[in-house]
Amino acid sequence: MPRAPYDEAKKRRVGLIGCGWYGKIDLLRLIQVSPVEVVSLCDVDKRMLSEAAGIVAGRQASKKTPRTYSDYRKMLSEKDLDIVLVATPDHWHALAMIEAVKSGADVWVQKPISVDVKEGAAMLAAARKHERVVQVGMQRRSTPHIAEAKELFLKEGKLGKIAMVDICCYYHMRATENPPDTTPPEYFDYEMWTGPAPMRAYNRLVHPRSWRAFMQYGNGIVGDMCVHMLDMTRWMMELGWPTRVSSSGGILVDKASKANISDTQTATFDFEDLRVVWQHRSWGEAADPKLPWGATFYGEKGTLKVDVYGYEFTPLGGGETIRRSVTYELIEYPEDQTEKDLERHVAPAVRYHMKNFLGAIDARSRPVSDIEEGFISASSCILANDSMKLGRTLQWDAKERRVVGDEEANQLLARAYRGPWVHPGV
């Protein structure tokens, strides 16, 4: 996979908002590929913030400990950052990303970019207005074996006409506990963490990482896992917006958990003469145990199965099956072998994604996962959840960014913000 050209010697000042699991994964991959100076870290968890500062000091060349902040607005008001990484829970992506581009920084924002459609539209508008490069953390677009599959089988036409793509996730990833509500720990600013989201009684499930169990902070497994596979499919097949979205499901099995996201859901995304069908179950066995999270492209000449661990192409009517596994880079980056909680199979993809981001910054061009692509993929998943909530198919007008003939659905394109926070898109 060709490397995006960028100035490998250029010093860039970097800040991170959200120092949890993937925030550290993203930041440490950036340190691996560029001589950046991480000068600022922000988090509302004092312990997490302190731990991240120590890790960064040990990994960056200068060995300097970054400044730390509890409020991203204070960090960004310094206006001394070239790059800002936003890796907060989903309900904070929009406000932090918009403020970062206003401050003059180029931004890496985790997926899905937003929790409602109008947030995403406001993020896209801000990036364009302030002429900032914004890369979304949808690194399937930078995964070497997936890029190879796109070139070998789709671009060369070895699949023939593709009219159906199945995408899925069968990981048992939904929280199954029902712990009591409690008082937040003293080191955690729950008021600020909640921000524009609805205020719930504090529960230990929300922090760290299990916040995805609640629709107040994200869009469930569809927003978390479908967005990756839908985006990958859109990229591989060069698709834009779906014209219609429908979805059904709910909490069909695990009714005892505190979680309020669906444990079972199917969604269909229609693209003219192509249908992309998503399914997740957080219980039972995967439909294909070898593909618990991935995509299957059905073509008239063959079938291609793709996931984060590799691909498998089988021509129709017999012939040799072609397989490729993920490439690890443990010799080149030995720290990957010992880094806590690192998804080692994903680390190379994040590095390539970072290199593409840096190349786009230097060229002042749009990266492979530009904010507009993130807007389309995230919004499509949000529309799927809206369809399930309303119990009907939604016809999407991409030009007007509205659901055709359905004002009740259009009311769901922006959710109410908790004061004093103000929604950027309404």
Residue 332, in any domain of the structure: no
State residue 304 phi and psi, 5-degree precision.
-120, 125
**Residue owning tokens 């834009």:** 240
What is the per-residue pLDDT for 1? 57
**Same domain for 300 and 239:** yes
Other beta carbons within 10 angstroms of residue 291's beta carbon come to: 18
CB 206 within 8 A of CB 214: yes
**Same domain for 130 and 38:** yes
Q: Is 162 exposed, middle or buried (0-12, 13-18, 19+ CB in 10 A)?
A: buried
**Same domain for 402 and 361:** no
Kind of pairing, strands 402-403 and 106-109?
A: unpaired
What is the per-residue pLDDT for 318? 83
**Same domain for 103 and 224:** no
Q: Which two tokens stand for residue 348?
A: 């190379």
Q: Which two tokens stand for residue 106?
A: 């180029």
**Same domain for 244 and 393:** yes
Count of domains observed in the chain: 2
**Same domain for 401 and 274:** yes
Residue 420, in any domain of the structure: no
**Same domain for 407 and 261:** yes
Kind of pairing, strands 67-69 and 83-86?
A: unpaired
Other beta carbons within 10 angstroms of residue 420's beta carbon come to: 6
**Same domain for 188 and 281:** yes
**What secondary structure letter does DSSP report for 45?**
B
Cα→Cα distances 93→62, 96, 242, Å: 29, 6, 24
Q: Which two tokens stand for residue 24?
A: 């550290």
Q: Which two tokens stand for residue 97?
A: 């990303």
What is the per-residue pLDDT for 289? 95
**Same domain for 247 and 197:** yes
Q: Which two tokens stand for residue 14?
A: 């970097």
The low-confidence residues of the chain, meaning pLDDT below 50, are: none
Model confidence pLDDT, tens digit, residues 336-368:
999 999 999 999 999 999 999 999 999 999 999
Cα→Cα distances 204→3, 189, 334, Å: 42, 13, 34
Beta bridge partners of 134: 107
Other beta carbons within 10 angstroms of residue 287's beta carbon come to: 13
For 268, the enclosing helix (H) or strand (E) is: strand 264-271
* Residue 408 three-state SS: helix
**Same domain for 278 and 166:** yes
Residue 17, in any domain of the structure: yes
* Residue 77 three-state SS: helix
d(CA 267, CA 278): 5
**Same domain for 288 and 381:** yes
**Same domain for 287 and 388:** yes
d(CA 358, CA 371): 15
CA atoms within 13 Å, Cβ hemisphere of 63: 0
Strand order in the sheet with 310-315: 322-325, 310-315, 302-307, 293-299, 162-169, 274-281, 264-271, 244-250, 394-397, 402-403
CB 57 within 8 A of CB 49: no
What is the per-residue pLDDT for 3? 56
* Residue 201 three-state SS: coil
Q: Which two tokens stand for residue 333?
A: 């980056």
b/e map 244-280, b = 16+ CB within 10 Å: bbbbebebeebeebbbebbbbbbbbbbbeebbbbbbb
Instruction: Provide the domain limits for residue 350.
Output: 13-141+341-371
**Residue owning tokens 């312990």:** 47
Q: What is the CATH number of the domain that holds 117?
A: 3.40.50.720
Strand order in the sheet with 37-42: 67-69, 37-42, 13-17, 83-86, 106-109, 134-136
Q: Which two tokens stand for residue 386?
A: 């809206």
CB 68 within 8 A of CB 41: yes
Q: Is 153 exposed, middle or buried (0-12, 13-18, 19+ CB in 10 A)?
A: buried
Q: What is the CATH number of the domain that holds 234?
A: 3.30.360.10
Q: How far apart are the first and last CA of the chain?
A: 41
